[in-house]
Amino acid sequence: MIPLLEGTGFTESLLSKYTGCARELDDALLVNPFDVDQLADVLFEAYRMPDEERRQRMARLRAKVEKHNVFDWAAHIFGESYKCLKLESPST
C-alpha cells in the first residue's frame, strides 16, 4: 500500500489488486501494477477525489488495519489450523 504524498494533505492509498490484502482493504484504490494506462487513470482518480471522500477512505483503512493486524491474522490462521487438526485426529 502506498500512501501518496503523505504529509501534504493529499493522502490516498494505492494498492496492487494482486496483493493478499486487496479484498480486505477495499477502500484503497486498486490497480494492476503491470497496466501503465490503468495506473495513470487511478492516479488521476486519486488526484481528483474530493478531500472529504479521501479522508473518510483513509479513516476506514486505518481502522481496518488497526483492528485486523498481524496478531489478529495469526490468531485466526492458527485457530483454523487447530480446528482442522482436531477434525483429522482419530477418535478415542
Span 36-74, pLDDT tens digits: 999 999 999 988 999 899 889 988 988 988 888 889 888
Is the CATH code 3.40.50.2000 the one for domain 2-88?
A: yes
| Residue extents of the structural domains in the chain | 2-88
Q: Distance between CA atoms of 27 and 30, rounded to whole angstroms?
A: 9
Q: Do the Cβ atoms of 29 and 15 come closer than 8 Å?
A: yes
* pTM exceeds 0.85 for this model: no
Q: What is the enclosing helix (H) or strand (E) of 55?
A: helix 51-67
